[in-house]
Amino acid sequence: MQKIVLDTNVVVASLISNGIPFKIINELAFENKVTVCISGPIFDEYVEVLSRPKFSVFKDFKSRAETFITKIQEVAVKFSPDITLNVISDEADNRFLELSVYAKADYLITGNTNDFTKDKYENVDIVTPREFWVKYSE
Pick 78 or 123 by higher pLDDT: 78
Mean pLDDT of 14-30: 95
**In sequence order, what DSSP letters do the residues of 33-50 get, joined into one string?**
SSEEEEEHHHHHHHHHHH
* Domain around 50: 3-137
What pTM value is reported for the model?
A: 0.94
What is the chain's mean pLDDT, rounded?
93
Closest CA to 81 of 25, 29, 37, 112: 37
Counted domains in the chain: 1
Contact 108, 93 (CB under 8 A): no
Q: What is the CATH number of the domain that holds 89?
A: 3.40.50.1010
Residue of 69, 25, 39 whose CA lies nearest to 51: 69
Close Cβ partners of 119 (under 8 Å, ≥ 6 residues apart) = 125, 126, 127
pLDDT of 114 above 80: no
| Model confidence pLDDT, tens digit, residues 35-69 | 999 999 999 999 999 999 999 898 899 999 999 99
